[in-house]
Amino acid sequence: DGGITQSPKYLFRKEGQNVTLSCEQNLNHDAMYWYRQDPGQGLRLIYYSQIVNDFQKGDIAEGYSVSREKKESFPLTVTSAQKNPTAFYLCASRNRDRGNSNQPQHFGDGTRLSIL
Amino acid sequence: EDQVTQSPEALRLQEGESSSLNCSYTVSGLRGLFWYRQDPGKGPEFLFTLYSAGEEKEKERLKATLTKKESFLHITAPKPEDSATYLCAVHVNQAGTALIFGKGTTLSVSS
């Protein structure tokens, strides 16, 4: 089945440690996104990529890094510079618009990151 | 500044008790408004896209409508399985292809 796979489902980070969250899609979508979701807050955009080897910062990019070496993969690294990393992280992808349509983003099932 | 506000934050209904969720927006250049459903511990699931004022979309017990300032998600005769958080998001001209999300409305339907 086509879809977006995020792994791991749960992740624990020690102080001073970088961790990488995986996001893979087999939908052949061009654009991919990373969001952070905190209790009582809406989804906030961390980074997005509209094409391979290109990505842009979102509203809360500080303390995070990404790469887009392959169309199907968009890993997110949470660095030690991110002082409050505990959150639910969601990856999404989107197909290219056709005609007047505005294609929706489709989401994976998230990774919950906690600090040890 | 582009903003999306959803109300109420939480809504409790009895099975069969119809109601509406609101999503109001202040944006420059709306390209599309999206509704999603999110179950606990899961990613959002796409429901509807609305493009212009007056447009309506329906799916089972859900109907989404759009005006120039807000969107409503009407739930007719809800069932317990409709319990979830409903998210509204907008795509605006200046945001590339990224979405701006509201904080969501958490719906609980009891039998």
The answer on pLDDT for B103 being more than 70 is yes
Q: Which member of B36, B45, B96 has the closest CB to residue A50? A: B96
Cα–Cα distance measured from residue A74 to residue A70, given in angstroms and rounded to the nearest whole number? 8
A89 to chain B: nearest residue by CA?
B43
Q: How confident is the model at residue A40 (pLDDT cuts 50, 70, 90)?
A: confident
Residues of A in contact with B37 (CB under 8 A): none
Mean residue pLDDT of chain A comes to: 93
Does the distance separating the beta carbons of B101 and A56 come in below 8 Å? no
Burial class (CB in 10 A: 0-12, 13-18, 19+), B52: exposed
Residue labelled with tokens 């690294």: A77
Rounded mean pLDDT of chain B? 94
- pLDDT band with cut points at 50, 70 and 90 for residue A15: confident
Q: Cα-flanking dihedrals φ and ψ of residue B44, to 5°? A: -60, 145
Contact across the interface for B4 and A40, Cβ inside 8 Å = no
Residues of B in contact with A104 (CB under 8 A): 34, 46, 49
Q: What pLDDT score was predicted for residue A41? A: 86
pLDDT in tens, B72-102: 999 999 999 999 999 999 988 665 667 999 9
Whether residue B27 is predicted with pLDDT greater than 90 in this model: the reply is no
With an 8 Å Cβ cutoff, are A104 and B41 in contact?
Answer: no
pLDDT for the residue B92: 82
A-B Cβ pairs (cutoff 8 Å, strict): 58
